[in-house]
Structure 1
């Protein structure tokens, strides 16, 4: 299926029902000795209008501090999710452990940031879930998974997650 996989980029939206995609990344990791998973969550950047509105209400340093605290809290949440997954789903004999998983929180346009991180880490594969949307919703907003898949230079494994 894949050549020798050492670096797996797993992308999570942190929504309910995203475990099947993480299971797929963990399973892939288990098939390749020495493989590592980078667990990525991308925070959508604030729009210019939102930043402008907030800058009228608070100093830039206050806004930056608030955003930094939010990222730190999210990092703790991601690490707790990974630990809970390992405790609940992994068996003693499985190769994966917490030392095989790095967590990253990035800010930007999700599909662009996913590709950027994949390039930076030279990922062998990107694993992500996709949720079913209505046709109208898909046409209007597009899909992060679709944009990632169509713009990626590396393999992308997309796991259906159910209804959004």
Structure 2
């Protein structure tokens, strides 16, 4: 087991079924008295789509919409964490909402996870994976697999389903 875990980066797509990975990150956080950063990465839109949108909406309006969307997404992440803690944590549990920070970044998902992990100097990355078969992971490559191959930090990968 890891000897010292002060900072955990939990990367999530916030889709249905990602709760087991958050549960694992929270359990580790409680065990090691560490901090969690809940990272959600937004894939950049293609230049073709961006061009189409710019034809329809003024740039200033588009920037305002984008910034509003980021604020709404951050609130969604914070609510998700709060709901999780209320439903799963006991009053006696050490972990408090202040130990979980949310962060939203834009970029290629696996590259951004590795970049943020290095930037923050985290001790552990926790994330889930939904790829159903090892052959599927081998041929298409999952985000978790790409993070594992490109990061020098310990990585805990939790298999996910769409049920929880």
Write the distance in 2 (CA, Å) between the matches of 1:78 and 1:90.
17
Report what 2:5 is aligned to: 5
- Partners in 2 of 1:104 and 1:76 — Cα distance? 11
Q: What displacement does 1:138 show? A: 6.5
SS at match of 1:45: coil
Q: Hey, what does 1:120 align to over in structure 2?
A: 119
Contact 2:17 2:162 (C-alpha < 8 Å) held by counterparts: no
State how far apart, in whole Å, the 2-side matches of 1:18 and 1:112 are.
20
| Match in the other structure for 1:45 | 44
Conserved? CA contact 1:132–1:162, under 8 Å: no
Q: Which residue number in structure 2 is paired with residue 77 of structure 1?
A: 76
**Inter-partner Cα distance in structure 2 for 1:49 and 1:148:** 28
1:19 aligns with 2:19: yes
Match for residue 155 of structure 1?
154
Seen in structure 2, the aligned counterparts of structure 1 residues 145 and 136 have a Cα distance that, compared at 3 Å, is closer
Q: Unmatched 5+ residue regions in structure 2?
A: none
TM-score by length of 2: 0.92
Corresponding residue of 2:64: 65
Aligned mates of 2:24, 2:94 — CA distance in 1: 14
- CA-CA distance at 1:49 after TM superposition: 1.1
Deviations 1:77-117 (A, max 9, x none): 11000000000000111111101000011111110111111
Shift of 1:69: 1.0
2:38 aligned counterpart, secondary structure: strand
Match of 1:38, SS?
A: strand
Alignment of 1:76-95 (within 5 A): 76-95=75-94
TM-score, L = length of structure 1: 0.92
